[in-house]
Amino acid sequence: MGIDEWDIAIKGLTLSVVMIGAWRGFMEYRKTQDWKKAEFLATEYKKFVDDQDVKNAFLILDGYKILNQINDCTNLIKDYKRYKPIKKLIKALSEKDSEKRDELEEYIVLCIDRFLFKLGIFNSYIELDLGSKEQVWSYLSYWIKLIGGSDEKIIDMKAQKALKEFIETYKYESVISLVKKYEDNLKQTTLKTIHFRTEISLK
């Protein structure tokens, strides 16, 4: 092997070593970045579920008794259960004229509005590559299914229809975009639910 050939071989080997090192460095960087993203998303999710507005929206959408209070609404809702929760929720979300809503219905709309706004922020996290679709789904699948799924165990279908119309009417675009990202997940969930119901009916 001549000097020129030897020089070329050494340069080729050196380049290969550099490329391998660069690739390893890149993979380590990706691992670090993925870990940081996961940590960031976990922190943001904790803030989300600990938020008082979100907690109240959870209770309203689940139709439970509301025991929490927001700001000056000390005695506004002491016992949501004495109303028919689902009917009250549907009425609040369906009424377009705020002057026709009673105080409780206005409060329900306020809670749902704040919940939807904060839920939509997770769509931005995905689009800004601050978290993956899979990570967000692992945290928010229940609420995404509540809005876009078809499981009556999660939400009354009439209440879901009113919620969807509310989201579309008032243009919660980030929530609409978030739910659309999981259309395949929601289809799979629907198929599993249908399969489960078929099995039950055959027994």
Q: What is the mean pLDDT of residues 16-21?
A: 51
Locate the domains of the chain by residue range.
51-202
**Weakest-pLDDT range from 9-18, 51-60, 68-77, 80-89:** 68-77
- Residue 123: what pLDDT? 94
- Residue 9: what pLDDT? 47
Q: 145-195 pLDDT, tens per residue?
A: 999 998 878 888 899 999 999 999 999 999 999 999 999 999 886 555 433
**Weakest-pLDDT range from 73-87, 89-103, 172-186:** 73-87
Here the tokens at position 68 are 């929490």
Angle (CA) 78-147-57 rounded to 5° is 20
